[in-house]
């Protein structure tokens, strides 16, 4: 290559490549986050609870981590730290360091991967996973932050290439310790509002366990003063559920019924105001098939051709239909069909 050709090659190929390389943005891999499995924890005074530190979106190959966690030791007391069986280093040979304390509210802990005994190869990991689980005792009512120090000395992740630090950000957490720990509730009660005598309604009761521990809810449901259902429901802490049962109105005379549900207090429960719930809409037990009148969809205590005509308009509607009216599903089978129309005709001219 003579000088002129080389000069042209340098100017046309090398210089643009060089400029191009430097003009390209440096790809940031600083998307790794060290945080907690939950952003906030609730704990009952006098009980033990776990806090797990996790890594998210680790893009580099990591061989070592170390973290420092600070908290208010007047609220929660450190008891133990360990690697959960499904931690990010699971299945590999691991060496842990610590825990070490600067004061009762500051724990330092870490782990590193060892080379495989047979192959001598040191494994590494990336992705997302658990680092360690701290066990705390909830000593006193109050709040504390869970703060992960993000300083080179106390908290870091190490990459296997040249033992370099992997950049990451931290998202801190918090703990609320309180004594309100057992609290069950009935939040809602729903039934169709019109029930043909001797026919059925699905009654849905919404229940909650606002406490932290799993509870067995002993629930009773009444229509006026008559017990219509009794059940025990196991519900995990901080969760809600719906319970549906079939209510048969055979033993009820014509008239309005008020539905209400009650859950018995559980051990140590103090908030009893939410342990019962009354349906806002009374349920009318009437002549089967009396579902309408001059006012469409409003019963008038007599079954006649107005009812039959109304049922024919709603023929073949289901709960998914825009004009679904559960009161028109007299036999409670989930569709307004010829059976419902037949019930209305069978009760033609019957009064309450
Ligand atoms: Ca309660
Ligand atoms: Ca009617
Ligand atoms: Ca039906």
Within-domain flag for 19: no
Instruction: State whether 192 and 264 are in the same domain.
Output: yes
Distance between Cα 339 and ligand 3 center (Å): 6
Q: Is residue 14 part of a domain?
A: no
- Cβ contacts of residue 184 below 8 Å, gap of 6+? 207, 208, 209, 210, 211, 215, 217, 235, 263, 265, 266, 269, 275
- For ligand 3, the distance from its centroid to the CA atom of residue 328, given in whole angstroms, is 7
pLDDT reading at 223 higher than 50: yes
Q: Are 231 and 301 within one domain?
A: no
Domain termination residue (choose one: 258, 286, 314):
286
Q: Which ligand is nearest to the CA of 275?
A: 1
Q: Are residues 166 and 90 in the same domain?
A: yes
Is residue 1 very low, low, confident or very high in pLDDT (cuts 50, 70, 90)? Answer: very low
CA of 280 to the centre of ligand 1 (A): 19
Looking at the fold, whether 238 and 301 belong to one and the same domain comes out as: no
What are 228-282's pLDDT values in tens digits? 999 999 999 889 999 999 999 888 999 999 999 999 999 888 889 999 999 989 9
Q: Which ligand is nearest to the CA of 217?
A: 1
Residue that terminates a domain, selected from 260, 286, 312 = 286
Q: Report CA(341)–ligand 3 centroid distance (Å).
A: 9
Give pTM, 2 decimals.
0.57
Note the pLDDT of residue 47: 87
Residue 239, in any domain of the structure: yes
Work out the pLDDT band at 303, boundaries 50, 70, 90: very high
Residue among 50, 212, 45 at smallest CA distance from 138 = 45
Can you read off the two tokens belonging to residue 237? 């802490």
- 306 backbone dihedrals φ, ψ, rounded to 5°: -60, -40
Identify the pLDDT of residue 162: 81
Give the model's pLDDT for residue 270. 83
CATH of residue 332: 1.10.1330.10
Ligand 1 centre distance from Cα of residue 257 (Å): 25
3-state DSSP call for residue 129? Answer: strand
Report the distance separating Cα 145 and Cα 77, nearest Å: 13
User: Is the pLDDT confidence value at 19 over 80?
Assistant: no
From the CA of 305, which ligand is nearest?
2
Distance 204 CA to ligand 1 centre (A): 19
Per-residue pLDDT, 22: 40
pLDDT in tens, 166-217: 999 999 999 999 876 789 999 999 999 999 999 999 999 999 999 888 999 9
CA of residue 28 to ligand 1 center, whole Å: 51
* Tokens encoding 58: 């680790």
Whether residue 280 is found in the same domain as residue 299:
no
- Amino acid 144: pLDDT: 98
Is the same domain home to 336 and 346?
yes
Question: Do 165 and 94 belong to one domain?
Answer: yes
**DSSP H/E element including 16:** helix 15-23
Query: Pick from 236, 257, 286: which residue ends a domain?
Result: 286
Signed CA dihedral, 302, 304, 310, 314: sign only: positive
For residue 39, the CA-to-ligand 2 centroid distance in Å is 56
215 Cα–ligand 1 center, Å: 12
- The CATH number of whichever domain residue 246 belongs to comes to 2.60.40.10
How many separate domains does the chain show?
3
Examine residue 220 and state whether it is found in any structural domain, yes or no: yes
Tell me whether residue 7 is in a domain: no
Q: Same domain for 148 and 277?
A: no
CA of 245 relative to ligand 3 center, distance in Å: 17
* Residue 6 lies inside a defined structural domain of this protein: no
Q: Which pLDDT score is estimated for 180? A: 66
The backbone torsions φ and ψ at residue 326, rounded to the nearest 5 degrees and listed phi first, read: -60, -25
Q: Encode 219-232: b = buried (16+ Cβ within 10 Å), e = exposed.
A: bebbbeeeebbeee
Q: How do residues 132-172 score in pLDDT, each as one tens digit? A: 999 999 999 999 999 998 777 899 999 988 889 999 999 99
346 and 221 within one domain: no
Q: Are residues 52 and 124 in the same domain?
A: yes
Ligand 3 centre from 36 Cα, in Å? 51
Q: Please check whether residue 16 lies inside any domain of the structure.
A: no
In this structure, are 81 and 156 located in the same domain? yes
Among 230, 157, 196, 164, smallest CA distance to 332 is for 196
pLDDT digits (tens, 9 = 90+) for 47-99: 899 999 999 999 899 999 999 999 999 999 999 999 999 999 999 999 999 99
User: Ligand 1: distance of its center to the CA of 274 in Å?
Assistant: 5
- 89 and 207 fall within a common domain: no
- Find the 190 Cα to ligand 2 centroid distance in Å: 23
Q: Which domain holds residue 318?
A: 288-352
Residue 194 lies in a domain: yes
Residue 308 pLDDT class (50, 70, 90 cuts): very high
In the block, residue with structure tokens 């802990």: 109
The CATH number given to whatever domain includes residue 41 is 2.60.40.680
Distance from residue 143's CA to the centre of ligand 1 (Å): 23
- Angle of the 338-346 helix axis to the 305-313 helix axis, nearest 10: 180
């Amino acid at each position: 290559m003579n000088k002129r050709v080389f000069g042209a090659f340098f100017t046309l190929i090398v210089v643009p490549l060089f400029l191009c390389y430097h003009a390209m943005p440096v790809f940031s891999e600083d998307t790794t986050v060290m945080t907690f499995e939950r952003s906030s924890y609730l704990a009952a005074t006098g009980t033990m609870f776990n806090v797990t530190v996790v890594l998210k979106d680790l893009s580099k190959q990591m061989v070592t981590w170390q973290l420092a966690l600070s908290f208010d030791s007047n609220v929660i007391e450190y008891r133990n730290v360990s690697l959960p069986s499904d931690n990010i280093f699971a299945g590999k040979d691991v060496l842990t360091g610590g825990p070490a304390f600067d004061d009762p509210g500051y724990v330092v802990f870490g782990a590193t991967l060892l080379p495989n005994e047979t192959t001598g190869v040191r494994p590494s990991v990336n992705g997302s996973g658990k680092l360690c689980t701290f066990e705390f005792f909830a000593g006193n009512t109050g709040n504390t932050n869970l703060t992960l120090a993000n300083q080179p000395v106390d908290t870091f992740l190490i990459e296997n290439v040249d033992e370099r630090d992997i950049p990451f950000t931290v998202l801190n957490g918090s703990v609320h310790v309180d004594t309100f720990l057992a609290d069950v509730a009935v939040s809602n009660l729903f039934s169709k509002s019109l029930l043909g005598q001797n026919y059925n309604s699905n009654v849905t009761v919404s229940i909650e366990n606002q406490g932290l521990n799993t509870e067995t809810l002993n629930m009773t449901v009444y229509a006026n003063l008559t017990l219509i259902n009794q059940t025990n429901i196991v519900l995990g802490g901080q969760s809600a559920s719906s319970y549906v049962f079939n209510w048969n109105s055979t033993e009820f005379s014509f008239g309005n019924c008020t539905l209400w549900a009650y859950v018995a207090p559980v051990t140590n429960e103090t908030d009893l105001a939410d342990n019962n719930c009354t349906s806002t809409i009374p349920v009318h037990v009437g002549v089967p098939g009396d579902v309408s009148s001059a006012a469409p969809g409003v019963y008038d205590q007599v079954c006649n051709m107005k009812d039959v005509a109304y049922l024919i308009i709603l023929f073949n509607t289901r709960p998914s239909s825009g004009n679904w009216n559960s009161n028109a599903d007299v036999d409670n089978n989930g569709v307004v069909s010829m059976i419902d129309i037949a019930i209305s005709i069978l009760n033609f001219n019957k009064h309450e």
